[in-house]
Amino acid sequence: MSQESTKAVQESMQKRLNDLIPIETSLNAETISQLGSYMVQACRELYDFITRLYTDIYNNPAEYGLLIDDKETRDRALGFLGFVWEGIPDGELMSDSVVWIPNFNKNQHKGVEKLFSKTPFSGRQRLNFLERCGLFIEETKDGAYVTNIEYPNMFLPLQKLRQAAKKNYAGSNVYFNCEFRLIANPKYQPTLSDIVYNRTSPEMKDLLFKIDSYAKSKKFKTECRVKECIYYKYKGKRVFNIRVRRHEVHIEIGIGDLDRINRMEKIYSDGLMNFIKRNMNYCRNCFPHHGGGVPVTFFNKQVRICGGGAFLYIKNPTLGQFDYITQAINFGCDVIAPPWKKIERI
């Protein structure tokens, strides 16, 4: 296995390890009191299994059949995760320690299919790989039984997380992170504290919480569909988001129609306008299918921006930018609720 393939697998697993909610956070005192001792112990077993699986794939990719040097190596690694997070919990829980997956060999469920697709190994070989972490799959003519001799009670919380996600978080990966507060409250949404807990410097945390407090003072509502990103909504529409990814912070602020922005240049300060110009989402050929971006007129100049909408993209913001960030947020709110008196003065 080449260093490049090993790196691709390890980066994927490290990201997932980083994304896990700390057990003391997801099983805080309130959650423990709501779940009861049996479910809490079952959640701990699931957390230990997931941590062990991710770590083992990271340290020993060859032991999971990730030996082939091609572009699909990472996808093969994710096949194991898809089976654990989707294939198993969508099976039938026969008891707290046994899951039945009907028609296993013919199953078109994407979680099961992921385990067998894009691999030179037989399905049986891939199933055997999972035994390293105690997970056993016993196939029969009609399906398969799934058990875990080391973490026998992990299946109940696994299924509860999957059910909560399917009902309230379609298309989201929140439940992949062992967010056990979803079991106590299926509509629970991660907060800013959850996405910055061990990923940013103290100075960055101070800035992000200052922005968060400002938004709350303006009656913004928050929404979190993926653990690494908090969306802030004003009058039901998203205005900005804070995203933390691989220890980098990105703030995106929607500022609406560019023609409107060009007209409003006379209203707002030169400092804010310069801040907007510097941080506009100019297309830098980040994706070939963008085709070089969308040509637009921006302050009397022809430029190209990514996608069809205008937004600011601020990477690793600083405390010195706080005033401009909040002004830009207000600018975005003005697009949603136009300050007509200001426009009339132009």
Contacts of 74 (CB under 8 A, 6+ apart): 8, 9, 12
- The answer to whether residues 288 and 334 belong to one domain is yes
- The answer to whether residues 62 and 93 belong to one domain is yes
The C-alpha atoms of residue 33 and residue 36 are separated, in whole angstroms, by: 6
Tell me, what DSSP letter sits at residue 86? I
Burial (CB count <10 Å: 0-12, 13-18, 19+), residue 27: buried
Structure token pair of residue 237: 């529409």
- The answer to whether residues 158 and 250 belong to one domain is no
Mean pLDDT over 211-234 rounds to 90
- The answer to whether residues 152 and 237 belong to one domain is no
- The answer to whether residues 80 and 174 belong to one domain is yes
- The answer to whether residues 50 and 69 belong to one domain is yes
- The answer to whether residues 35 and 169 belong to one domain is yes
The C-alpha atoms of residue 223 and residue 190 are separated, in whole angstroms, by: 8
Structure token pair of residue 245: 């990814």
pLDDT at residue 29, as a whole number: 94
Inter-residue contact 130 to 63 (CB < 8 Å): no
Mean pLDDT over 90-106 rounds to 87
| pLDDT tens digit sequence for 201-222 | 889 999 999 999 999 999 999 9
> What are the phi and psi torsion angles at 228 (to 5°)?
-90, 5
| pLDDT tens digit sequence for 282-322 | 877 666 555 567 777 777 777 777 765 678 999 999 999 99
- The answer to whether residues 254 and 282 belong to one domain is yes
> Is it the case that residue 83 has pLDDT exceeding 90?
no
Q: Residue 340: pLDDT band by 50, 70, 90 thresholds?
A: very low
Q: What is the pTM of this model?
A: 0.76
pLDDT at residue 211, as a whole number: 97
Last residue of a domain, one of 184, 212, 232: 184
The CB-based long-range contact list for 239-246 (8 Å cut-off, 24+ gap) reads 239/329, 239/332, 239/333, 239/336, 240/215, 240/329, 240/332, 242/192, 242/195, 242/208, 242/211, 242/212, 244/195, 244/196, 244/199, 244/200, 246/15, 246/18
> Is it the case that residue 225 has pLDDT exceeding 90?
no
The closest of 195, 204, 242, 247 to 22, measured between CA atoms, is 195
Mean pLDDT over 183-187 rounds to 88
In this structure, the strands spanning 248-256 and 143-148 are unpaired
Q: Residue 338: pLDDT band by 50, 70, 90 thresholds?
A: low
On average, the pLDDT of the chain sits at: 81
Inter-residue contact 156 to 93 (CB < 8 Å): yes
Task: Name the domain count of the chain.
Answer: 2
> Is it the case that residue 224 has pLDDT exceeding 60?
yes
Q: Residue 69: pLDDT band by 50, 70, 90 thresholds?
A: low
Structure-model confidence comparison of residues 222 and 1, the more confident one: 222
pLDDT at residue 277, as a whole number: 86
- The answer to whether residues 213 and 100 belong to one domain is no
Name the least confident of 63-77, 95-109, 317-331: 63-77
> Is it the case that residue 108 has pLDDT exceeding 70?
no
Domain enclosing residue 163, as ranges: 3-184
